[in-house]
Amino acid sequence: MTRRSVSVLLAVVFILVCVGATVYAQGVSGTLVKKAYTLLNEGYYIAEGAVTIEDGIVVDCTIDEMNTMLFWGNFSQDGITKAELAAVGDDSIYTAMFDFHGAKTATKFAKYVQVGDIVFEAGAKPDGYILYASGKVGEANAFFNASEGHMEWFFKQMRAGNFWLLKKTSGGFEKYEIGSFFKDVPGAPLDKGKSQNKKYRVHWNAWEPNIYKIESFIKRNGFLPEKFDQNKDNVWTIADVVTGATIVEFAEYAGVLYKAYDK
């Protein structure tokens, strides 16, 4: 066999190996779950899109959305009781502006929170709105936006229940938890790791039905060309096919599934 023949044979083997790896990565000969993340509503929430592919076919699409500390660090939104608030102490409370769907209000927040092994401290933007930052990773929203891996890390920590409010002490910080971290919005018992996930905490009535319509549409129709529009009835369409969803942030929620699928 000549040197040229050997080179050609090796090239063919290399191509076949690469093709085989590509086929497997696309889930043609197995099961593959691809995930993507996006920051929503100026950092109040992070959405996770997961697409499951079996033998090259999309068999499931799910969207989860997790509250960030901008929401669960907010004493008004997290449902802290007067007794729990009194036990916090002024040194561990920070007041900043909060804009929740257009209502700008001076609001009390936990001054210190912890996610995983990272402690974040509350502060304010130049316009007075709340932010959280850490000496370890910087401002929270910038940290999340810098990498999907950072958002994935956040989801994992939250699902594991590894988040706390912190009380300042002479020796550092003391972790504490409140009743709302263990129940859904109506008040039913809930695992802590599910308490900030909108699918479990029972978010506003129209949210979950809209999310379900997006998931079901894509699971049923596949990933049509990414063309999102609203018809005259304000119902969203993808490639001119009606989805049934009317949620304002449709492009973000459907988009995170497309983002996952395209990986």
Q: Which residue in 128, 144, 124 sits closest to 44, CA to CA?
A: 144
Q: Across the chain, what does the average pLDDT equal?
A: 89
Q: Are residues 11 and 40 in the same domain?
A: yes
- pLDDT for the residue numbered 26: 44
Q: Are residues 73 and 168 in the same domain?
A: yes
Q: Are residues 238 and 222 in the same domain?
A: yes
Q: Are residues 131 and 158 in the same domain?
A: yes
Q: Are residues 237 and 149 in the same domain?
A: no
Q: Are residues 61 and 73 in the same domain?
A: no
- Please tell me which residue, 1 or 58, carries the higher pLDDT value: 58
Q: Are residues 20 and 44 in the same domain?
A: yes
- pLDDT for the residue numbered 2: 52
| Last residue of one domain, picked from the residues 183, 201, 219 | 201
Q: Tens digit of pLDDT for each residue in 60-103?
A: 999 999 999 999 999 988 999 999 999 999 999 999 999 866 77
- Please tell me which residue, 93 or 12, carries the higher pLDDT value: 93
Q: Are residues 74 and 97 in the same domain?
A: yes
Domain of residue 257, CATH code: 3.90.1010
Structural domain boundaries enclosing 73: 68-201
Residue 5 confidence (pLDDT) above 80: no
- Whole-number percent of the chain with pLDDT over 90: 82
- Of the pLDDT bands very low, low, confident and very high (cuts 50, 70, 90), residue 29 is low
Residue 22 confidence (pLDDT) above 60: no
- Our count of domains for the chain comes to 2
- pLDDT for the residue numbered 24: 31
Residue 194 confidence (pLDDT) above 70: yes
pTM to 2 decimals?
A: 0.86
Q: Are residues 76 and 169 in the same domain?
A: yes
- The full 3-state SS of the chain, as one line of letters, equals CCHHHHHHHHHHHHHHHHHHHHHHHCCCCCEEEEEEEEEEHHHCEEEEEEEEEECCEEEEEEEEEEECHHHHCECCCCCCCHHHHHHHCHHHEEEEEEEECCEEEEEEEECEEEECCEEEEEEECCCCEEEEEECCCEEHHHHHHHCHHHHHHHHHHHHCCCEEEEEEECCEEEEECCHHHHECCCCCECCHHHCCEHHHHCCCCCHHHHHHHHHHHHHHHCCCCCCEEECCCCCEEECCEECCCCCCCHHHHHHHHHHHHCC
Residue 10 confidence (pLDDT) above 90: no
- pLDDT for the residue numbered 1: 52
Q: Are residues 121 and 220 in the same domain?
A: no
Q: Are residues 179 and 209 in the same domain?
A: no
Q: Are residues 188 and 209 in the same domain?
A: no
- pLDDT for the residue numbered 19: 34
